[in-house]
Every structure is written in structure tokens, then in C-alpha cells.
Structure 1
């Protein structure tokens, strides 16, 4: 055999010692016996509504615990009249704070969400207002997305919602405040907080 004939000879594959070459892995997998899957059974789970009793837990409880606490506080306020909370607070965003593991929504205003323009600035403005202060929250029994709605004040009597509106970082929500904070809105604030203003208009159209 010449040198060129040796280079261009047809290549043949040696037979494998592990088995015949015509076995394909996907055929083996397809023919393997499968274990029957168990069908999950559905069951109704009811979230308990305990009596009004708060534990000294983490300021960021799980979602179910947050809802349970909020419903318990609101039910207590509806049965026995407005309830007062006092204590230092954690700030979630411009219109949500946490006192004694209960999430509280400031009544009558609408602040931008954290991912909206001016949302982070509204949060840190609320942090500056509440830092080192004992906040008093007057709970009336209303709920908003597993948060109790309350009017929150500082020791010197200032309304947190009013202070945030004065700084141009929240809007008066007339549907819930009756226009209580409208006079404190700076000029042009509804153009700046256009997403919050648009949310109020959409909510008004939905209700009517």
C-alpha cells in the first residue's frame, strides 16, 4: 500500500466490547418502567382569626402572620372602638410603617411605591420623621392589603401623613381623606408624582 493510499483509506470503527453499537440511549430511557405519580389531594386551609394578642416577634413576620395580626387588630378596633398603638416604628415605604409587628397604612394619603419615581425619597423622608420618635397610631378598624389603616402622629402632635404631603412626597387621596390634606400639597406635585395621581384616577373610574 502506498503512502497516499494509506492516508486516504476508508476509516472503520472497531466494535465496542461493551455491547452492540445499535443500542441508542433514548430507546433505553423510553422503555424503562416508570413509577406512577401520586395525585395530590386538595384540602381547604382556613387561616385562624385569633383574639387580639400581639407577640414580640420579628418586625417582618411572614405574610400569613402579618394578615392574621392585621385582622385581629382591626377586629378589636371595630368591637371596642379606635385603638391606639405607641412605639418606635420600622418604615417600609412612604405610607407604610410597622409598630409592634403590625403593618400600618397611613390614612388619607398616597405615596409613590419604591420602584416609582420619588419612591425611595419618600421612604427616607418618612425615616427621617420617625427616627428616634415614639409614633402613635390611631386604628379605626379599616384594612388595606393586610395592613391596618391609621392616623399616625409624632409626640409633638404632628401628623405623619400631613408632613409627607407638605414635603411634596405624597398626595392627598380625597376618596379616603375627604380632602383633609389637599391644602398642604405644593404646586405641581401631581405632575411630579404622576404615577400616584394616575392610580387615584384609575381607582375613581373603577368605583364609578
Structure 2
């Protein structure tokens, strides 16, 4: 009987010590080993680093992907013209960004800049080295939709069936029916 009481007391002390450790912010299990940081990517350019393209009508270089319809070449933020991709916090937003990363990875992108700009971003048609239009590729994949107001319907024939239903937030935003306070 005394042995059981001693074992119960030890169990209570062990439990109390463990929960005390957890309350201080330490994890209850063993800590994972973290090795040296290898192949770490550089941080994306900050908005303060944005510079307006002045005389250059074309930019060429490797790009950094911000979201499904924005890239950075030579510290210039470029919105891909004529399409609308979901925001990162919307459904399919991260998928759209991932697809754009896969398309651009290791490629030299050519951006033909348009005269207008939106939200401190230049607007441009972005092309892969083989001449493929990034906007067309994203629309074909079903991860962006044509924005006829800005593209003149250039990409609408590439939209898969039912895509506007899938990307309903982007569609509603284009038509002026999206309330960010209600839907996030």
C-alpha cells in the first residue's frame, strides 16, 4: 500500500513539474535539432525600396514573386497586366503564387511595361524566355481570371469552365460586389 502511495506521489510531482515547464513556454517534448540555415533565399524587396521605372519600357531579369499577379524585377514591383489572381489570404491564393513561382523559377522574365501604374506597382505584360505570356499561363491553369476592363478580353477564351465560380472573390471584386469587411 505504501509503495502505491509513493508511486502516486511521484507521478503527481512529475506531472506538476512537466506542466510548470510547459507554462513557461517550453515545449513538453524534446526540442527539434535545428541545423545551419542552408540555401536560404534573400528577403523580398521592401515597399520602401520601390522605384518607379522612368525611361525603361522593358525590364529583363530574374524575378521575385510577391503573389499570384505581382512580381519584382530589379526592385520594381510589376503587376501582371490583364488578369486578377486571388489574394494570398483568399482561397486558391497560395496555389496561384506557387504556380507563378514554378513558372518563373530559374527563368529570365521580360516585362514590357505599360504607361499606367496601380498601388505603387508598374503594370506590364510579362513573358518567359520562350515567349509564353505569364498571364495566359495562369489563366489556363485556372489560378487567375481575365480582367476584361484592362485586357479587353484578351485572356477570356483561355478560362476553364466554372473558373469564375471557383475564384468567386476575384470575380466579385471585378464587378464591384466584393465587401472585404464581410468576407475578409
TM-score scaled by structure 1? 0.63
Tell me, yes or no, if the aligned pair for 2:44 and 2:64 is still in contact at 8 Å: no
1:120 maps onto 2:94 in alignment: yes
Among 119, 135, 148, the alignment partner of 1:145 is 119
Change (3 A) 1:62 1:125: closer
Q: Following TM superposition, by how much is the alpha carbon of 1:181 offset from its aligned partner in structure 2, in angstroms?
A: 0.2
Superposed, which structure 2 residues align to 1:1-208 within 5 Å?
60-66=44-50, 69-70=51-52, 73=53, 75-76=54-55, 83-202=57-176
Q: Following TM superposition, by how much is the alpha carbon of 1:105 offset from its aligned partner in structure 2, in angstroms?
A: 0.2
Q: What SS is found at the alignment partner of 1:142?
A: strand
Q: Following TM superposition, by how much is the alpha carbon of 1:140 offset from its aligned partner in structure 2, in angstroms?
A: 1.8
- CA RMSD between the two structures: 1.5
Please give the per-residue CA displacement for 1:129-179, whole angstroms capped at 9, x wherever unaligned. Answer: 001100000012210100000000001110000000000000000000000
Structure 1 alignment gaps of length 5 or more: 1-57, 78-82, 204-208
Q: What SS is found at the alignment partner of 2:123?
A: strand
Structure 2 alignment gaps of length 5 or more: 1-41, 178-184
TM-score scaled by structure 2? 0.71
Q: What SS is found at the alignment partner of 2:99?
A: helix
Partner of 1:7: none
Runs of 4+ off more than 2 Å = 58-65
